[in-house]
């Protein structure tokens, strides 16, 4: 038995040595921890694609996605240096940057991920046609700790509704639990955001199909008048099954944020690798087609919030001065 154990250990050591070699030369790996969210939501899907593409583009990188409770947990984990980078929805990022309900954060933007127009999904046979039709109904607003309930709270506030008073609000332990609740009637609607969001896809692909409910033009104007940081955004036609028309809404950009102490050279390397692999990431995940250097510059609330290493790369490619 001892001889077998020794042989097994020897094989593992050989395998580890081979994995650290490329072209006969040892590679020094840069390990990067990436916080995502609960299984079943859009962040783990994006985070896994991001890590796979980045690790393939630069074999010296070892980006390791980790499931978390979402944006509201990722921010303090980054601030305490327990994560290197993490996915954060636009509204929690905005509140952290602006110091709303807390001290302003010193976290920095590595890249913009994708835009997130918010809307509800209901069963195709449901009687609900507008947001106000859902008043008094049980509505799943997303996972606890994620940014989705914060987005819905801002939008509903903009049209004069209170999320936890005007609706029977449901907050999920796992993002993936929401679609089944709509399908079996425990929830009248599921709130979500963006293109390629797994919750929307799951309901839309169910046998009965789905419909989407978003703010109308007047409601969008009211939301923007009260919360100007939210932007007009559109879900293109045919983003989901049986969705023939584009859907206008409001929302914001989600970000990959970095801990303040992430070294400039590491952030520079990540930015250079990422934007050199934009086409590969787009091919891997449709919603990641919005992860571009140009969109990052446009989506950042101000240039000072970009990580200095990212800014250095953007200067080299002529995107910022």
- Grade residue 24 by pLDDT with cuts at 50, 70 and 90: low
Q: Decide if 214 contacts 116 (C-beta within 8 A).
A: no
Q: For the chain, what are the domain ranges?
A: 26-115+253-316, 116-251
Query: How much is the mean pLDDT over the chain?
Result: 91
CA distances from 203 to 24, 131, 161, 181, 252 (A): 50, 18, 25, 10, 23
Q: What is the pLDDT of residue 70?
A: 94
For tokens 């839309």, name the residue. Answer: 204
SS3 104: coil
* Residue 128 exposure: Cα atoms within 13 Å on the Cβ side: 26
The two three-digit tokens of residue 50, written as one number: 């991001």
Domain 116-251 in the same topology as domain 26-115+253-316: yes
pLDDT digits (tens, 9 = 90+) for 122-138: 999 999 999 999 999 99
The pLDDT assigned to 23 comes to: 53
pLDDT digits (tens, 9 = 90+) for 250-302: 999 999 999 999 999 999 999 999 999 999 999 999 999 999 999 999 999 99
Confidence (pLDDT) at 146: 86
Can you tell me the mean pLDDT for 49-62? 97
pTM of the predicted structure, to 2 decimals = 0.81
- Asked if 116 and 144 count as a contact pair (C-beta separation under 8 A), the reply is no
> In this model, does residue 12 exceed pLDDT 60?
no
Class at the top of the CATH hierarchy for domain 26-115+253-316: alpha beta
What pLDDT is attached to residue 25? 61
What are the tens digits of pLDDT across the range 163-210? 999 999 999 998 899 999 999 999 999 999 999 899 999 999 999 899
User: For domain 116-251, which architecture applies?
Assistant: 3-Layer(aba) Sandwich (3.40)
Q: Is the pLDDT of residue 57 over 70?
A: yes
For 141, the token pair is 């607003």
């Amino acid at each position: 038995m001892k001889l077998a154990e020794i042989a097994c250990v020897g094989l593992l050591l050989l395998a580890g040595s081979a994995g650290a070699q490329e072209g006969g030369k040892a590679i020094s790996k840069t390990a990067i921890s990436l916080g995502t969210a609960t299984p079943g939501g859009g962040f783990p899907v994006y985070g896994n694609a991001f890590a796979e593409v980045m690790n393939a583009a630069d074999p010296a990188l070892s980006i390791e996605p980790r499931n978390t409770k979402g944006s509201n947990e990722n921010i303090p984990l980054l601030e305490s240096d327990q994560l290197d980078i993490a996915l954060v929805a636009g509204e929690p990022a905005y509140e952290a940057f602006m110091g709303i309900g807390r001290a302003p954060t010193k976290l920095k933007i590595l890249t913009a991920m994708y835009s997130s127009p918010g809307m509800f999904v209901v069963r195709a046979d449901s009687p609900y046609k507008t947001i106000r039709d859902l008043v008094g109904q049980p509505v799943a607003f997303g996972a606890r700790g994620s940014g989705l309930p914060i987005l819905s709270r801002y939008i509903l506030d903009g049209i004069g509704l209170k999320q936890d008073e005007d609706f029977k609000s449901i907050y999920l332990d796992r993002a993936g639990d929401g679609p089944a609740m709509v399908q079996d009637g425990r929830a009248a609607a599921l709130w979500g955001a963006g293109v390629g969001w797994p919750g929307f896809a799951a309901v839309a692909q169910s046998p009965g199909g789905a419909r989407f409910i978003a703010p109308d033009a007047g409601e969008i104007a009211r939301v923007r008048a009260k919360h100007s940081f939210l932007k007009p955004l559109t879900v293109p036609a045919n983003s989901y099954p049986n969705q023939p028309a584009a859907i206008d809404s409001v929302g914001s950009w989600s970000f990959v944020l970095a801990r303040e102490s992430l070294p400039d050279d590491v952030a520079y390397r990540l930015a250079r690798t990422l934007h050199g692999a934009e086409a590969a990431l787009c091919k891997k995940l449709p919603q990641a087609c919005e992860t571009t250097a140009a969109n990052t510059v446009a989506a950042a609330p101000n240039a000072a919030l970009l990580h200095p290493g990212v800014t250095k790369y953007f200067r080299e490619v002529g995107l910022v001065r």
